[in-house]
Amino acid sequence: MMHTLEASAPPVAAVPPVAGELKQRILIVDDDPNIVQVIEQALTFKGYSTCSTTDGEEAFRIFREEGEFDVVLTDLVLPGISGIELLEKFKELDPTCEVLVLTGFGSNEKAVEALKKGAYDYLKKPTNIDELFIAVSKAIEKKKLSLENIAYQMDLERVIEERSSELLRTQKFLHSVLESSTEYFIIASDAEGLITLFNSGAERLFGYKRTEVQGHRAILFLAQSEAGNAAGMQDFLKSGVIDQAHTVVTRDGREITISLTVTPIQDESARSVGYIWIGKDITEQLALQAQLKEYAQNLEKLVAERTREIQERNRRLEDTLTQLNDTQMQLLQSEKMASIGQLAAGVAHEINNPIGFINSNLSTLKKYIINLKDYCRAVDRVVQSDDADSIEELIRLKKIKKVDFILDDVTSVIEESIEGTDRVKTIVQDLKDFSHQDRGTLNEYDLNKGIRSTLNIVWNELKYKAEVIQDLGDLPLVRCYPQQLNQVLMNLLVNASHAIADKGKIYVRSRARDDEVVIEIEDTGCGIPAENLAKIFEPFFTTKEVGKGTGLGLSLSYRIVERHGGRIEVDSRVDVGTTFRVILPADGPPAAAAEWVPALAEEA
């Protein structure tokens, strides 16, 4: 149902009041107090907060001083001030305030003008109450939207301001990055290669001011300026310029070499919209590199020369070492020969004995043969004469010539001689073995056999000085260089004999113990004083008179045993005697020591 507000009509309570909302303020201006009253009543009833006046000037004052009216309802015809004028003033004071104008009959033009000046709507008098409510609530809605819009706009402005200052900061930062790069030049160009940015590094390097190059082709600075024109530039950019060295000419005509990386700048659709040209002057760097290369080449040459020199020296050193080894080998050999020399007399005596009786046996045999020959001739004669006297003569002759004895003895004389020659053979063999240069290899050797044959060699040296008591246990075969160990045994046996002044005893023992073989040579000689014990293994240490000892025996023995992976122990008491103990691993020298042994074998 539609209600019409007449100046005299009572307020209508048909439309329910606005409840629960914050009261909107409405200013009502009309020169007719009845209309003001009716509208005010209706709107108050509807829940709005109202304020009213019949005077235009007063209305403006209220609006200005009390302010914050959501809607103003104003008549267009007022005394003193026109409604349009008032509308303008309201709008000026508060552009968000919505103004509804009340127009009388025939004032359409004014209503249109009011709308142009910013009025929200107009209501014709007499005003329909429902239309009034609708217009007011719409105006309020509009005001709300305006306020929201303003808030949104303000928000937007704030965001824009924030973004702008952020952008400004980024820009400043980028600028400072661009400008702080003193070593690198940074140039930006558009897709055509026309310069849009030219940092101070570029200014410094190329000698151009940014204002001079702005809009020119970046490529202009490259000496290879076949790309100086637009087409050339496209080709250049298409080639994907990355990390290349270019020769460029600076403004003052200097040729420099730069490194250059050109990176395309792409928009969202991956279209190249420009390029960033970054690089630096590498002229010095290249010169340094070239210098360095030259140095390196020189160094290589120098190293090669030095290496050759060192190799030559090494070769000479090796030669010297070989010579030294030879000399040492000769020394050792001569030392050994010297020991042999000392023993030669004794050996000669040993040989002399069997040779003596072989010689006498041969004389005996010669006589035997003469007798046998005489007897055989007599037998021939008797056989031919067939004479009885002759037979008797034969029997007598057989007696005289001791034919029976000769026939009896001849076998044993020959056997004895054979034994004699055998002994000579053994001695000569032992001697030969002993003096033989040992370039041998590792052998499985029965050390008891070594002890026996060494005793044979030195026998003449020992037999007048000492009773030799052998106590040889069961030994496993030992991997060793037999000749070298025999030499050790000979040294120890001769030392033992030398230590005995008159007559004494030498015990020679051999035992197998765990994985080792132990050979002990004990004498009842003079013993070694404590102060000498530490020195006896030193080369050339001897207490013997000149010509009798070289002082090499024990040092050589020590080295030989050490390189067999074994050791020599010595217990000694002055005036009581000395025991030397040679302890050898039954398995032979360990790998590391074995490596040395052939060298030693060469020396020995």
Ligand X SMILES: Nc1ncnc2c1ncn2[C@@H]1O[C@H](COP(=O)(O)OP(=O)(O)OP(=O)(O)O)[C@@H](O)[C@H]1O
Report how far residue 164's alpha carbon sits from residue 404's, in angstroms, rounded to the nearest whole number: 152
Q: Among Mg ion, ligand X, none, what does residue 551 contact (CB within 5–8 Å per kind)? A: ligand X
491 binds ligand X (CB under 6 A): yes
How near is the Cβ of 439 to ligand X at its closest, in Å? 22
466 binds ligand X (CB under 6 A): no
3-state DSSP assignment of residue 216? coil
How near is the Cβ of 460 to Mg ion at its closest, in Å? 17
553 binds Mg ion (CB under 5 A): yes
| Residues within window 491-510 making contact with Mg ion, judged by CB under 5 A | 495
Which of 102, 89, 24, 29 lies closest to 59, judged by CA?
29
CA angle in degrees (0–180, nearest 5) for 115-117-121: 25
Of 40 and 461, the one with the shorter C-beta distance to ligand X is 461
Q: Binding segment for ligand X among 79-87, 243-251, 475-483, 495-503 (CB under 6 A)?
A: 495-503
487 binds Mg ion (CB under 5 A): no
Ranked by CB distance to ligand X, the top (closest) residue is 553
Q: Which of 84, 568, 578, 604 binds ligand X (CB under 6 A)?
A: 578
Report how far residue 207's alpha carbon sits from residue 176's, in angstroms, rounded to the nearest whole number: 20
Q: Which of 127, 417, 454, 495 binds ligand X (CB under 6 A)?
A: 495
557 binds Mg ion (CB under 5 A): no
Q: Which of 35, 202, 499, 519 binds ligand X (CB under 6 A)?
A: 499
Q: How many helices (H) and strands (E) does the chain have?
A: 16, 17
Of 527 and 553, the one with the shorter C-beta distance to Mg ion is 553
How near is the Cβ of 348 to ligand X at its closest, in Å? 19
Q: Among ligand X, Mg ion, none, what does residue 536 contact (CB within 5–8 Å per kind)? A: ligand X
- Per the listing, tokens 């025991």 go with 579
| Residues within window 420-449 making contact with ligand X, judged by CB under 6 A | none
How near is the Cβ of 495 to ligand X at its closest, in Å? 3
| Rounded-to-5 percentages of helix, strand, coil across the chain | 55, 20, 25
Distance of CA 53 to the CA centre of its chain: 97
Contact between 506 and 471 (Cβ < 8 Å): no
How near is the Cβ of 316 to Mg ion at its closest, in Å? 36
How near is the Cβ of 451 to ligand X at its closest, in Å? 16
* Tokens matching residue 493: 């046996």
Q: Among ligand X, Mg ion, none, what does residue 195 contact (CB within 5–8 Å per kind)? A: none
Report how far residue 585's alpha carbon sits from residue 566's, in angstroms, rounded to the nearest whole number: 6
Query: How many alpha carbons lie under 13 Å from residue 173 in its C-beta half-sphere?
Result: 6
Q: Which of 397, 526, 582, 600 binds ligand X (CB under 6 A)?
A: 526
Report how far residue 528's alpha carbon sits from residue 542's, in angstroms, rounded to the nearest whole number: 11
Q: Are strands 272-281 and 255-266 parallel, antiparallel or unpaired?
A: antiparallel
Q: Which of 201, 553, 585, 589 binds ligand X (CB under 6 A)?
A: 553
The 3-state secondary structure of 73-91 reads EEECCCCCCCHHHHHHHHH
Q: Among ligand X, Mg ion, none, what does residue 543 contact (CB within 5–8 Å per kind)? A: ligand X
Report how far residue 375's alpha carbon sits from residue 394's, in angstroms, rounded to the nearest whole number: 8
How near is the Cβ of 565 to ligand X at its closest, in Å? 21
Q: Which of 201, 450, 549, 566 binds ligand X (CB under 6 A)?
A: 549
Contact between 497 and 462 (Cβ < 8 Å): yes
3-state DSSP assignment of residue 519? strand
* Long-range pairs, 19-23, Cβ under 8 A, ≥24: 19/47, 21/47, 23/47, 23/48, 23/49
523 binds ligand X (CB under 6 A): yes
524 binds Mg ion (CB under 5 A): no
The site for Mg ion (CB under 5 A) is made up of 495, 553
Q: Which stretches of the chain bind ligand X, using CB under 6 A?
A: 491, 495-496, 499, 523, 525-528, 536, 541-544, 549-555, 578
